[in-house]
Amino acid sequence: MSDRDTDVPDSSGPEMQDHLRIPFISRRRALQLAALGLGAIGAPTLLAACGASTAATTSGGGSSAGKKGGDLVIVRDRDSVAMDKTTVFSNGSLWVYQQMYECLLAMTDDGQGVKPWLAESYEMAADKMSCTFKLKAGVKFSNGQPMTSADVKFSIDESSKTKGGWEFINTAIKEVTTPDDLTVVVKTKYPWAPLLADLSCPNNGIIPKDYGGKTAKDFYAAPVATGPFMWDTWEKGNFIRLKKNPTYWQPGKPSLDTVTWKVVSDENARAIQLQGGQAHINEAPPFSSLEQLKATPDVKVELFPSTRTDYIMMNQTKTPFQDVHVRRAISYAINREAMVKNVLFGNGTPANSFLMPTVPFYDKNTPGIQYDMDKARAELKQSSVPNGFTTTWLGLSGDSVDSAISQIMQASLKDLGITLKIQNVDGSAQHDMTGKLQYEIAHSYWTMDLADPDELVQYALDPDSGGHSFQTGMKNAELIGLSRQAAREFDKTKRQALYTQIQQKAAETAFLGFLFYTPFPYATRSSVKGFQVLPTGYYHMENVSLSS
């Protein structure tokens, strides 16, 4: 916009008359505008003071006396996808529907095994080919109907039959029979050690037989199950809310009236909502913000031991990563201490194995390949590219952890004569390209869904499970054989020995660069009691209460 003052000299054309250069807009006009302005700001304030408020207040109705009731709000950066337990993989959906669907067995709080849940006892047959479960009596679905073995059979078979989802967890199951209303027998095709852990996986959650008469689609739009919370509303993209199940089988639980998971994409906005009391729990605040959060009054930061492990993947179908010396050289160049300090801000521990401490049969004595630049150089000298080479890191745009790791690696590898170029793409593209083995080197991570290492071991070592050996293209016959053998071994000592062997050999072949183990960070208001996150990321909302 041209400024007419400088373009047009004052003397040309009719000048603004003196008396029109109002020294002040008339008092009446000024007062009118001021009233309008104040009204615009004041009126909504007054109206809203008598109107409804937005999300929850810090203490809900009836909780002023202490522990009962309350509406809990969790803020997170993504929404759920669907409530279908057979096909949905996203944690954003799982951690919500796990408050509704319960299994025969539940994972123990330390993640090392399972405990009876909807089944009050179980007995493995001597030939290890079947397991008999006795169901708890008096368990009801949230619609008042009693749970029976027919519902259990339906629920497990449903997941086994539904293609395109979690059916791979149930591949060892041959059939499920129901001798009486409170007894279920699960038969397997071969002795299968992970069976109990598999039955605690959310895809085997118990729902009413034949979807209670509805179609699958209608059922999953408003599910009915035995869990502490039942279906309430879902405003897609905004929030999902579950409400208390009045017929829940655990006496005195749950304490909360409702739990709402709100979608707030901006991490600063999440922190502000927690501070302001509009949210009670902030899921996964960035590590860089933890110190500041710890210093905030009424907010506590909790770091729950998790199964999350980060890795560097190297694509063995691309030269020179098929050469074990190259992979070992790169692994020796990983400065884990620096990463834990600068990327995780101290919130993590260096990894020595592709399994993590929170999963059964982890071997803490596997030395792994630890940071040693001299050994890195020695390995590279023995490789097919002793003078170094150039490669491209496929990074995840917008992910500060990925970005920091790639830059630390770029600096370390330069020392070896390896030039690391960084290419960033968005999440979906990176997932696509790594899945099709169209990358050279990239970062990835894993979290377990059940208390048995087999889920990860299969994915990481056995190409037949569909993951291309954790997208590295590795086909190591010895490791494949050992992993299959370990899954069928029931004796805990022998099974541990096999997994120890697997971890040591996997570390030696450096098929993945093991980075670090990190906890699940959560920031909660101090009024939240009893919130505990299990190593798979799951939490039991029935144990949570809000004090005022």
Partner 1 sequence: MKYPVYVAKRLVSLIPVLFGISLIVFFLIRLIPGDPAATLLGSHATVQSVAELRSQLGLDLPVWQQYLTFLGHLLHGSLGFSFVYNSPVTDLIATSLPVTLWVLASAAFFTLLVAVPLAVWAAARRNGVADNIIRAVPVIGLGLPSFWLGIMLILLFGLKLHWFPVAGFGTTIPAHLWSMVLPGVTVALTLAPILIRSLRASMVEVLGSEYIVTASAKGISRTRVVLGHGLRNAASSSITVLGVNLAYLTGSTLVVERVFSLPGIGQQMINSILGRDFPTVQGITLVFAIMVVIVNLLTDLAHAALDPRVKLA
Stretch 163-202 residues interacting with partner 1 (CB under 8 A): 163-165, 168
Out of 136, 187, 375, 431, the only residue in the binding site for partner 1 (CB under 8 A) is: 431
Q: Which helix (H) or strand (E) holds 362?
A: none
Q: Which is nearer to partner 1, 270 or 336 (CB)?
A: 270
Of 113, 149, 145, 111, nearest to 133 (Cα)? Answer: 149
Piece in contact with partner 1 (CB under 8 A), picked from 97-105, 173-181, 266-274, 404-412: 266-274
Instruction: Round to whole Å and give the CA distance between 540 and 254.
Output: 10
- Cα 385 to chain centroid, rounded: 39
Out of 97, 287, 459, 522, the only residue in the binding site for partner 1 (CB under 8 A) is: 459
Q: Which is nearer to partner 1, 14 or 144 (CB)?
A: 14
427 binds partner 1 (CB under 8 A): yes
**Which residues from 82-121 bind partner 1, rule CB under 8 A?**
82, 87, 89-91
Out of 298, 426, 478, 491, the only residue in the binding site for partner 1 (CB under 8 A) is: 426
Separation in Å, CA 397 to CA 92, 443, 444: 21, 12, 13
Out of 64, 177, 233, 238, the only residue in the binding site for partner 1 (CB under 8 A) is: 238
Q: Which pair of tokens denotes residue 52?
A: 């409804």
Give min distance, CB of 2 to partner 1, in A: 7
Out of 38, 125, 222, 269, the only residue in the binding site for partner 1 (CB under 8 A) is: 269
Out of 124, 150, 272, 373, the only residue in the binding site for partner 1 (CB under 8 A) is: 272
286 binds partner 1 (CB under 8 A): no
**Torsional sign, CA 382, 385, 389, 395:** negative
* Radius of gyration of the chain, Cα coordinates, nearest whole angstrom: 29
Out of 140, 211, 228, 429, the only residue in the binding site for partner 1 (CB under 8 A) is: 429
HSE of 55, CA atoms in CB hemisphere, 13 A: 24
Out of 31, 33, 35, 137, the only residue in the binding site for partner 1 (CB under 8 A) is: 33
Question: Contact letters (x/-) for partner 1, 356-395, by CB under 8 A?
Answer: ----------------------------------------
Instruction: Round to whole Å and give the CA distance between 81 and 74.
Output: 17
Piece in contact with partner 1 (CB under 8 A), picked from 24-32, 244-252, 402-410, 494-502: 24-32
Q: Which pair of tokens denotes residue 24?
A: 């002040």
**Count of chain residues binding partner 1 (CB under 8 A):** 78
- Cα 80 to chain centroid, rounded: 12
Count CB neighbours of 480 within 10 A. Answer: 18
Give min distance, CB of 173 to partner 1, in A: 17
Of 294, 314, 222, nearest to 523 (Cα)? Answer: 294
276 binds partner 1 (CB under 8 A): yes
Out of 109, 123, 266, 291, the only residue in the binding site for partner 1 (CB under 8 A) is: 266
Of 456, 418, 446, nearest to 325 (Cα)? Answer: 418
449 binds partner 1 (CB under 8 A): yes
Give min distance, CB of 221 to partner 1, in A: 9
61 binds partner 1 (CB under 8 A): no
- Where helices occur in 261-335 by DSSP H, the ranges are 267-275, 290-294, 324-332
Out of 98, 160, 255, 273, the only residue in the binding site for partner 1 (CB under 8 A) is: 273
Q: Which is nearer to partner 1, 235 or 337 (CB)?
A: 235
**CB under 8 Å to 423, separation ≥6 — which residues?**
392, 393, 394, 395
Instruction: Round to whole Å and give the CA distance between 420 and 513.
Output: 15
437 binds partner 1 (CB under 8 A): no
* Residue found by looking up tokens 């990239």 in the block: 442
Q: Which is nearer to partner 1, 74 or 333 (CB)?
A: 74
Instruction: Round to whole Å and give the CA distance between 536 and 520.
Output: 9
Of 388, 400, 389, 390, nearest to 424 (Cα)? Answer: 400
Out of 123, 235, 415, 478, the only residue in the binding site for partner 1 (CB under 8 A) is: 235
Q: Which is nearer to partner 1, 20 or 65 (CB)?
A: 20
* Residues 420 and 410 sit within 8 Å (Cβ to Cβ): yes
